[in-house]
Amino acid sequence: MVSISNIPINKKKLLGLLLFLGDFLVIFFTAILSFRIRTGDYEKTKENWLQILILLVTYLVVLYFFEYYDINLSLTKLRYLIRIIAVNATGIVAAVILSYVFYLKLIRGFLILWGINFIILFLLWRYIFYLISKKPMLPENILLVGSDWSIMEIIKEIHKSPVFSYNIVGIISDKNGNSQSNGFEGVNIIGNRYNLVDIVKKEKISKIIVSAYEEKHQDLISALLESKLIGIQITEMPNFYKKITGKIPIKHVRDSWFIFSSGFESVRNSFVFKVKRIIDVILSLVGLIIAIPLMIIIIILIKIDSPGPVFYVQERIGLNEKPFKLIKFRSMKSDAEKISGPVWAKKNDSRISRVGKLLRPTRLDEIPQLINVLKGEMTFIGPRPERQFFVEKLKKQIPYYSLRFTVKPGITGWAQVKYGYGSTVEDTLEKLQYDIYYIQNISLVLDLYIYFKTIQVMIMSKEMA
């Protein structure tokens, strides 16, 4: 597991990067080959460099949105072929449009030749990649120190990963009299503080994860120090958990962790927030202008579908817990909470109208929130705003819940692209862990990543809170 600009990247992501680089070379070579075959002239091929650049950018973007960089994508051979044909058709149409925008003259017959060559070379490259990626990668050998529930959490998170980046050799613990003396989640206790260094050397450990809860005996501290001096990386559980999951383990940290942890400095970085505000104003203005025709269609559909107002205006809690009026297109039946009172929205919610079933997965109901962004009540990227009723309830049940109000609420955010709809306190806790991770690591690079992930979710019509 590595981290680039505080975006957690594991070995699965590195395979995705390899895929991207391979696709880049395939598209570039396909363009060169197709121009060469069609024109028969190397000089003419060089003259079409802008056309080649358009094909490169267009196809890489289309492949991304069709999830071809998801290592876990599982399709039958027929579905894979159908999807790549759809990618090819989308890419060609986009390339033609961009060629006209840039006043480029298309060589007759080139795109047909390109389309055939691309499918052949792309499928050949992907088959080679499949053969390479089937070989097991060498994971890091890690050792866990402690015997509390935080250690169980780490084991669960590592086991969740479809591509293992870590091999848990065992657990070091002095508590042999507890009910979990044989280990946790299938991982055995293999030693104590006295033989920790010997185990590190024998098992070729590269990293030790230490519980943040248990009292650390001086002998254990000495053993950890000796391990560090021979090149072993020592990490406390919350920091390791944050690195592999992209969220803060709220249940396993104390106030002191927030005080001494790196990060959170950007919350008061005026430059970052000034740039974010400029981006917000530009994007919201452009978005509202472009969306006018679509908004008219949505308004008509809502009026036809069910009685009631077109817009749904509701008080939400924003920066520094100040209330504001959030605006959305109504996606639920009118007076949906008249009998039930305030309740969380959930997946397949029976209160959602027929038009709402179209608006919510694509997030088109959020378009009016561009007005909130323009007014400065919201930003594009940040924690989702919540209602006062739930805020008061959650502040009593979830530690550090108020931290999410140190930044403006957003239309989308890290929690939204990493976690789906939440309809319970447990779901809210999960999303808060992502929100606090974002607040700790807020940056323009992370915002850009969230923009791209949000667009991908919208195009693939995945559920997002």
One digit per residue, pLDDT tens: the chain, 465 residues?
Answer: 555 555 655 556 667 778 888 899 999 998 888 877 877 665 555 567 787 888 888 888 888 877 777 765 666 677 778 888 888 888 888 888 887 887 777 776 778 888 888 999 999 998 888 777 665 556 788 999 987 778 888 888 888 765 456 889 999 987 654 444 566 777 888 888 899 999 999 999 989 999 876 677 888 899 999 999 998 999 888 888 888 888 888 877 878 778 777 777 667 777 888 999 999 999 999 999 999 999 999 999 988 888 888 898 999 999 999 999 999 998 887 665 555 555 555 555 667 888 888 888 778 888 999 999 999 999 999 999 999 888 988 888 888 889 899 999 999 999 988 886 666 778 888 899 999 999 988 888 889 888 888 877 766 655 555
Cα–Cα nearest to 263, from 450, 407, 465, 413? 407
- Provide the 10 A C-beta neighbour count for residue 316: 19
Do 76 and 172 fall into the same domain?
no
β-bridge pairing 189-191 and 166-172: parallel
In a domain, 357, yes or no: yes
Do 274 and 371 fall into the same domain?
yes
In a domain, 440, yes or no: yes
Do 144 and 127 fall into the same domain?
no
For tokens 């690079």, what's the residue?
445
Number of separate domains in the chain? 3
* CATH code, domain carrying 229: 3.40.50.20
Do 278 and 415 fall into the same domain?
yes
Strands, sheet with 207-210, edge to edge from the N-terminal-most edge strand: 189-191, 166-172, 140-145, 207-210, 233-236
Do 297 and 392 fall into the same domain?
yes
What's the alpha-carbon Rg for the chain, to the nearest Å?
26
d(CA 418, CA 434): 8
In a domain, 76, yes or no: yes
Question: Could you tell me the residue range of the domain that residue 122 belongs to?
Answer: 2-133
